[in-house]
Every structure is written in structure tokens, then in C-alpha cells.
């Protein structure tokens, strides 16, 4: 069996038209530094007394699918994560265009996100992903990244991709020296 390397890991993202249903097309490859997106079902230890010294069998808890994705702050790809956090932007102008994201939307778009390790092969599709939090830190130097905290409806694992052939946006990173805080 092949050994997976992080350098070959891939992530594809598409916005869903129906919550929890992965679209057949429209996926984009997204650059990422790390991810903890996953599904788990913990066990709950029994609290019951009076059944002797041996513990009773644990009970399965609810299945959760969530985690963080650390992404570079760049010219094009960050727009996907901003759309997930705030909803679709209002776009104006021709060249350059101005995208205005507004906080406070009652409904936010959901996404289907596939993390892939082709050598294994393992393709995990997370459907119904919504952005719980989007955060980044300003510093004097270093790599500029954002962390998207996601909550998903579920995970399905397959040996082949469900994302088809995703398209890629160009990667043009911002650095900390590009930023300014204005009033």
C-alpha cells in the first residue's frame, strides 16, 4: 500500500445548491496549509452503579463532522472563504472590481469539500459544510493565513474522487507588509 504524503494532499470545494447534497460539477481546487476536518463518533462511559466492578459497555455518542482549514490569504481563493463566511458579495466596477462582503446575513451558503490523498487512495467528501468562524492575525512578518472553522453535515469516504476535474484559481499571496489598519 502506498504511503500518503502531505505534499500530494488535495482539497476541492463547491457551493451547494441544495444543503447537504454535493454538486456534480463546479469544484475548485483550493490551496491549504493544514486541515483537521474530519468525522468522529465518540463513546460515552456508562455512569450506572450497582453492576459490579467491571464497567458496562460504553454507548455511542452523536456523530460530529467539523474541523479547521488553514488557508493562505491571497487575491482570488480567499474570496471563496469570505463567501462562505458572509454570503455572496455585492460586486461593482469593471477594472478593478470591488467586492463588498456584508456581515449579518440570515442564511449562508453551504459547501461540499473533498479532501484527497490520491496515493492511498482516500477521498473524503464533507457535505453541508458551513463556516462557523473565519479568523486571521495581523503581524509584522511571516506567512499570512486565515483559519476557517467549519461544521459539516456528514462525511463519506470513497476510493475515487467525487469532485471530477476541479478548476484552479491562480495563487497570488498577500504578505503582512501589504496590510494596513485604517479608521
Say what the pLDDT of residue 112 is: 98
Say what the pLDDT of residue 181 is: 65
Say what the pLDDT of residue 159 is: 94
Say what the pLDDT of residue 5 is: 59
Distance CA 166, CA 57 (A): 45
Distances (CA, A) of 153 to 66, 111, 121, 156: 9, 10, 23, 10
Looking at domain 6-41+60-164, which of 2.60.120, 2.40.128, 1.10.287, 2.30.110 is its CATH number?
A: 2.30.110
Distances (CA, A) of 86 to 26, 107, 116, 133: 20, 9, 26, 10
Residue 130 host element (H or E): strand 122-136
Say what the pLDDT of residue 2 is: 54
Distances (CA, A) of 88 to 45, 106, 143, 144: 44, 12, 27, 23
pTM: 0.86
Say what the pLDDT of residue 9 is: 92
Distance CA 67, CA 58 (A): 25
Per-run averaged pLDDT (10 residues), the chain, 183 residues: 70 96 96 94 86 86 92 93 94 88 90 93 95 90 92 94 93 80 68
Amino acid at each position: 500500500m502506498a504511503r500518503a504524503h502531505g505534499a500530494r494532499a488535495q482539497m476541492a470545494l463547491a457551493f451547494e445548491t441544495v444543503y447537504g447534497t454535493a454538486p456534480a460539477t463546479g469544484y475548485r481546487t483550493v490551496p491549504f496549509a493544514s486541515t483537521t476536518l474530519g468525522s468522529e463518533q465518540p463513546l460515552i462511559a456508562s455512569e450506572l452503579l450497582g453492576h459490579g466492578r467491571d464497567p458496562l459497555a460504553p454507548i455511542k455518542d452523536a456523530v460530529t463532522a467539523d474541523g479547521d482549514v488553514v488557508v493562505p490569504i491571497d487575491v482570488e481563493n480567499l474570496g471563496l472563504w469570505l463567501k462562505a463566511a458572509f454570503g455572496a458579495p455585492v460586486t461593482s466596477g469593471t477594472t478593478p472590481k470591488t467586492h463588498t462582503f456584508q456581515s449579518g446575513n440570515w442564511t449562508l451558503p453551504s459547501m461540499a469539500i473533498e479532501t484527497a490523498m490520491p496515493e492511498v487512495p482516500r477521498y473524503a467528501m464533507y457535505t453541508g459544510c458551513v463556516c462557523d468562524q473565519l479568523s486571521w492575525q495581523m503581524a509584522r512578518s511571516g506567512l499570512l493565513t486565515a483559519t476557517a472553522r467549519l461544521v459539516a453535515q456528514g462525511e463519506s469516504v470513497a476510493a475515487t474522487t467525487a469532485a471530477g476535474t476541479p478548476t484552479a484559481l491562480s495563487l497570488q499571496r498577500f504578505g503582512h507588509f501589504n496590510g494596513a489598519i485604517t479608521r
